[in-house]
Amino acid sequence: MFFEGSEKKLEIIVDAAAPKLRSLDRTFWQGLVAASNADILSSISNDFCDAYLLSESSLFVWDDRIVVLTCGASTLVESACYFIEHIGEQAISYVCYQRKNEYYAHLQASSFGDDVLRLRDFIGGQAYRMGHLDSHHHYIFTTDKHYQASPLDTTNELLMYHISGTVADYLRGEHQSTEQISQLLQLEQLFSGFSVDQYLFSPLGYSINGIRGAEYFTIHITPQENSSYVSVETNIDISLNQVDIFAELIVLLQPNSCDIIGFNSHMANKPALNYVCLSHCAMTLEQGYNIHFSHYQQDCLEVLKPILL
């Protein structure tokens, strides 16, 4: 069984003159999610953020911005176009559209190049690739409007590939529960004080959204044996945490390799136990974001078996 766990990501920030995004009704967000060929499964809210758990990952809404992640063969670029078309290009301060290289890119509805052409029908911007084309790499499209981000506007992303060990075995098992997965991942300790919304997919897969004030985290797990993938994202400044969240999750899930992507993050090129950083790329945008991408590989010989196609 194969599922493309690697996600596309969209962040849009609106200016002060735009309507507060949390004031928009649910039908607007249902339409935005439907444009990606996804559905809203459930939601949680607090005074700062609405978090929607999707059939294809997550949507977070604050008054001035949204963050959307969609996996599988979703068409997230169409959600970007939907938003810009309905809110108006003049009300948009910043757009960032990201896409990681997929296991089976030919099964996607579009390529990153196609997506950039589609976005440029609605808004101008620049596109970049971070990383080697023949290895793990990350694509980013950002608008070139006169917007200035706060240095405290931080995002940390951890992408893990080919997980192994006790937790991975449980995630592939027949009898699972959201409570047991949360316990195995030590989420109450790693993300203390967060309200959470969890979902266990059938036959395999797990998603969780968490919010605490304006802070969020989200984890999505595709545990399938030959194409396992786990994504973790948060706007917590991990460097200020007493516990190194990413290091703990890497130890628990034992991925063969992983990527760390940061916006105004202090996680750049950070050494990881038993892992070697094979590549690192960084750039600074005029809009005030320092972006870095690092790819890590386990420091050991991996013995592979042929896969019957």
- Give pLDDT tens digits for 122-180: 999 999 999 999 889 999 999 999 999 999 999 999 999 999 999 999 999 988 999 99
Domains annotated for the chain, with CATH where assigned, are 8-298 (3.60.90.10)
Residue 272: pLDDT band (50, 70, 90) is low
Q: What is the pLDDT of residue 117?
A: 98
In tens, the pLDDT along 167-221 reads 999 999 988 999 999 999 999 999 999 999 999 999 999 999 999 999 999 999 9
- pLDDT (average), residues 273-289: 92
Q: What is the pLDDT of residue 271?
A: 59
Mean per-residue pLDDT of the chain: 94
Joined together, the tokens standing for residue 20 give 């507060």
Close Cβ partners of 49 (under 8 Å, ≥ 6 residues apart): 60, 61, 62, 211, 213, 214, 216
Could you tell me the pTM of the whole model? 0.96
Give the helix/strand (H/E) hosting 195.
strand 195-200
Interatomic CA distance for residues 195 and 154, integer angstroms: 20
What length does the chain have? 309
Q: What percent of the chain has pLDDT over 90?
A: 86
Q: What is the pLDDT of residue 269?
A: 61
Residue 75: pLDDT band (50, 70, 90) is very high
Close Cβ partners of 16 (under 8 Å, ≥ 6 residues apart): 64
Close Cβ partners of 83 (under 8 Å, ≥ 6 residues apart): 12, 32, 66
Query: Given the structure tokens 């596109």, which residue do they identify?
Result: 127
